[in-house]
Chains A and B, each alone.
Chain A
Amino acid sequence: MLKNIQEWILLLAIFGLTAYLGNWIGYGMLSVDGLLGIFVLILISLAGLILQKLIPVNIPSVGYIGILGILVSTPWFPGSEYVVEWTSNIQLLALATPILAYAGISIGRNWADFVQLGWRSFVVAACVFLGTFIGSALIAEIILRMQGII
């Protein structure tokens, strides 16, 4: 467990630094607040990863992390204004770019399987993704309209 935590901290720090530098180049945001923002996000992720190991229920760690993130930034949590202020210096898209850079390198391993699928599979896959996406959007649209949110 301790070894796990040590490794998580190092990996999250490497990822966080890359995202922080991307945040600077892409969005011109270079500040101590931004560094603190990354630090807070790493702490939240770490806490969620640890909780997932400690609690013997089959919930993915992102479940805990999402809830922790919400909790520490709600107005009634002490110090939440700092959490919100610091993390607002890190753009969501700046976190996304390194994820997909690592993903690009890693999906190379699936490439041989991918090209073997053939065009018929591609057509079905496109229908699956499009169907789910539009199906969800349609239902959301109907309910949001009924509620008068949009």
Chain B
Amino acid sequence: MELVKDWRLHALVLLIVLLTEWVGTYEIGVGPGVILFLPMFYAIIIGLILYFTPLVKKASAKNAEPFIVLGVTLLIAKIGVIIGPDIGTIIEAGPALVLQELGNLATVFIALPVAVLLGFKRESIGMTHSIAREPNVGLIIDKYSFNSPEGRGVMAIYIFGTVFGAVFFGLLSGLLATITPLNVLSFAMASGVGSGSMMTAASGSLIAAFPDLENQIAAYAGASNLLSLSTGMYLSIFVGLPLTEKLYRLMQRRRGDDAAQTKGE
């Protein structure tokens, strides 16, 4: 019951919510696209700043965690009741929803070469095999142990995602949906790739940019997120991680050859 009695935490959150909702949404044009600043982004930043003031006790920061989890359950319930009346549209979009999960693998081809070029060794496997949410962290730690290079790698991305993921996805999704030729509904599905708060921020920006499509965006993002949660780890186990390992060895061999050649010359 300690969580409930932390009235100072709840009062602070209420104040943050009222203030940020009162300020409202702003948009900045970037060429043909827009970056949206939503109340939820101010809220995460104000919350972070408050952590470093005496207003927030260290225990409160820990007490805040279950509220994120419970808040996400309410959000998912809301998305459920958005989907329900139009369940047909989700079933119709089923093939796209399932197959876009494979998009998670694209990160291996894009991020692994970058990580290796930047000089990461086996850390790069943990870093780039997936989007590094809780199930993936569990998988890597289970397979390589927490103190392995792979474990350090996955933790780096996990920490980055925890701190910066929501803001990163939120700012980016609205911008990409307005400047790229891809349809906003495709980005709605892509919004579900990460954690609940990443999905919230990414789809929130899309909704703010395309308010007429609110229900469809929320439905696609929510369904995609549920799918990622349930299949993400298996995709990592059977495809993502083996693929990353293979690609990494290939790149190492190539670099090894290069190094040998340079020596020989």
By a beta-carbon cutoff of 8 Å, the part of chain A in contact with chain B is 7-8, 10-12, 14-16, 18-19, 21-23, 25-27, 40-42, 44-45, 48-49, 59-63, 65-75, 77, 80, 83-84, 87, 90, 92-111, 113-114, 117, 120-141, 143-144, 147, 149-150
Does the CB pair B197–A99 fall under 8 Å? yes
B178 within 8 A of A: no
Does the CB pair B4–A7 fall under 8 Å? yes
B111 within 8 A of A: yes
Using Cβ atoms and an 8 Å threshold, which residues of chain B touch A131?
106-111
Does the CB pair B4–A26 fall under 8 Å? no
Would you give the shortest CB distance from B207 to chain A, in whole angstroms?
7
A66 with B185, Cβ < 8 A, contacts A12-B74, A100-B43, A104-B45 known: no
How many B residues, CB 8 Å from partner?
Answer: 128
Contact partner of A140 (CB less than 8 A), chosen from B68, B156, B185, B203, is B185
A-B contact count (CB 8 A): 411
Task: Report whether over half of chain B's contact residues are helix, strand or loop; otherwise say mixed.
Answer: helix
Using Cβ atoms and an 8 Å threshold, which residues of chain A touch B162?
107, 110
A-contact bits for B50-72, CB 8 A (1 contact / 0 none): 11100010101110111110111
Using Cβ atoms and an 8 Å threshold, which residues of chain B touch A26?
21-22, 24, 39
Does the CB pair B61–A105 fall under 8 Å? yes
A-contact bits for B114-126, CB 8 A (1 contact / 0 none): 1100111000100
Using Cβ atoms and an 8 Å threshold, which residues of chain B touch A147?
92-93, 95-96
A66 with B76, Cβ < 8 A, contacts A84-B81, A109-B62, A147-B96 known: yes
B251 within 8 A of A: no
A104 with B118, Cβ < 8 A, contacts A61-B73, A114-B160, A117-B160 known: no
Does the CB pair A149–B119 fall under 8 Å? no
Q: In the assembly, what is the distance between CA of A49 and CA of B224, in Å?
A: 20
Identify the stretch in B7-15, B26-34, B140-148, B253-261 within 8 Å (CB) of chain A at 4 or more residues: B7-15
Does the CB pair A110–B70 fall under 8 Å? no
CB-CB contacts below 8 Å: B185-236 with A: 185-187, 189-194, 196-197, 200-204, 207-208, 214, 218, 222-224, 226, 229-230
